[in-house]
Structure 1
């Protein structure tokens, strides 16, 4: 792109002009999301499964390899469950608890993966109460700025069907690694007030939100520190004597949904091949 247009910025502007020329409307958003929310992805997956038993609202509290090559799952109900193989997709710190009794090295490596807590504050306003045209997708806040938020997505501009025509929906992000105490310690109404007060001067908001919702994601964002790839290699080596146990999820090779789907597919293939051999 830089070689063709002289700079990356010129290349991006060229692509943006091309997109506008090829669009039926300048208001068409280039972003895509599931109309009924991310939960519908899991619901659709469950509906597509055949000859599979899905245990919903059933918590696993432990995983233990068996001498015959299988896996014993400990359920919160106290019922035993045996499997040929298992794919562990819980956060790394939870997986560490499960592995501690039979693989201390792997448990230590998992425990070393740090996590941050964040909060998402959804605020809805009457359109006439927001002066900014919201002609974009939102903004990010660099850490050098003295603001208590890390970014804001203009959801009703970014995706269709997120708010009535005379209202706007904004999603504000609070907390990051090393500065997530506010997310873990403060009340929901305070987080909503922090988000609202931060947006008012930036977007020219002149009234209170008609709706405010706070969703906390405590210890939900894994941090890929320097040396993360080396740690994963050591983790694979520590688990190599236990081919019936597989790891997948945001703590390892990507936090995005496509990354996690890819890891899930790869782990499922490995588990299936192991089950065929055992």
Structure 2
């Protein structure tokens, strides 16, 4: 690749951010379609490492994640992993590992099928009947006008009742978004479920009609890509960070580390000048197109000088603080066999921790013999005060919670990691879809400038890969 440090250099695509989104897009663009010439790509990362929020570490015989812990093996993500040479490194967890909810002092399995729901002690008989009646479409009207946007709490309470909301939906929201169901938008955070109501009037009818109307495209199965089963979760032998490292390895010198974007300036001829602070001093790159894969709070610093309204729309997306606390305990310290995916904890149970992933149960070889590793998350939209605590205070809070939920005896934990993400997961709060529409509208005045981040339509790793590949196709169309 031509030396990008030369201010006169023009690249086709400048991607800002070497997290999973930016790297996936660069990888997709590096493999031209039949009608395309190879694109000249530069990926600029402000940190000294690739991977963004994916952080894998190891020590004392343990291997753990301080950000995302696993992925749903979507076809796009699995093919990407195979393409970058990680096929033999793939790990798929047992899909039958139980999930638990801590309710009224007891760990209760989450019912994963209708028969399991009938037998479950997590919901009372009236709660089950209320959920059944609501699922069949016998629901009350929305509060306020028909056009009024519902929160996640309002939507699920109306459809499935208060018990399902409190004991299943709220802990799920904590686990995925670290969010507040009284603030999250049902249309944005649970778009697929919300669509079922629109299709059939009720969730069951909507699911039936959706399945009937959905035409499966005739896509040939790639025999080189492992086929995962429903409910499985994936990782790699050396942890999730293996994926961004492998992608970066295929991109070579196109990835620049410790390059911090200072300003972006559109030129009259339709290109952009990007000015970077780098280890070699200030550098300029001219590009035909620019993609910001950075979080909104980082993107706004670059875009607000170009358009105030665009900056205001980006500022409306908030990120709560979440701490990831990785602890090790002797196996005999637990009051039950640690075989499962983990447990979530609804608010109101006297437990501050949002949930715990049983890391040494989920994937083999993550803890030494005779030890268990638990990965805990605390904070979120309902507990932003977590950001004001010291690491020791955070560990003590999590350990106290574990003494109630999992541990049979109060033993000293082996502290493996405490990672406070001061701005962790973007919140799809009320008005989110309108904010995205404003962002898209304002971007139209800057041809060739794109945003691609987990604040739009899905926070999971599979969503990031899918969205990056869709963005790469838009870029191809633009560059043609």
TM-score bracket for this pair, using the shorter chain length: 0.7 to 0.9
Counterpart for residue 233 of structure 2: 31
Q: For residues 195-241 of structure 1, what are the alpha-carbon distances to aligned partners after superposition, in whole Å with 9 as ceiling and x for unaligned? A: 11110122124311133310111112100012211221121111112
Tell me which of 58, 76, 83 is aligned to 2:259. Answer: 58
Query: Which aligned segments of 4 or more residues in structure 1 are displaced greater than 6 angstroms?
Result: none
Using the size of structure 1 for normalisation, the TM-score is 0.85
**Aligned residue number for residue 97 of structure 1:** 301
Return the alpha-carbon distance in structure 1 between the equivalents of residues 262 and 347 of structure 2.
38
Match for residue 343 of structure 2 among 136, 139, 142 = 139
> Which whole-Å deviations, capped at 9, do the CAs of 1:102-155 have from their partners, x for residues lacking one?
111111100111111101100001112222212221111111222111011111
Q: 1:1-278 to 2 correspondence within 5 Å?
A: 8-10=113-115, 30-49=232-251, 53-77=254-278, 78-182=282-386, 184-203=387-406, 204-276=408-480
Give, in whole Å, the separation in 2 of the partners of 1:69 and 1:195: 53
Unaligned runs of 5+ in 1: 1-6, 14-28
TM-score, structure 2 as length reference = 0.50
Distance (Å, rounded) in 1 between the aligned partners of 2:232 and 2:270: 49
Shift of 1:12: 7.5
Q: Which has the higher contact order (CA 8 A, sep 6+)?
A: 2
* Matched position secondary structure for 1:142: coil
Of stretches 117-126 and 184-193 in structure 1, the one that deviates more from structure 2 is: 184-193
Structure 1 residues 11 and 67, CA gap change in structure 2 (3 angstroms)? farther
Aligned residues: 254
8 Å CA contact 1:192–1:212 kept in 2: the answer is: no
2:172 aligns with none
> Considering only aligned residues, what root-mean-square deviation do their CA atoms show, in Å?
2.1
In structure 2, what is the equivalent of residue 17 of structure 1? none
Structure 2 stretches lacking a partner, 5+ long = 1-111, 119-230
Secondary structure at the counterpart of residue 222 of structure 1: coil
Does structure 2 conserve the Cα–Cα contact (< 8 Å) formed by 1:130 and 1:206? no
The question of whether the paired residues in 2 share the 8 Å contact of 1:120 and 1:215 is answered with yes
> Counterparts of 2:232 and 2:410 in 1: how far apart (Å)?
29
Work out whether residues 152 and 170 of structure 1, in 8 Å CA contact, stay in contact via their aligned partners in 2: yes
SS in 1 for 2:422: strand
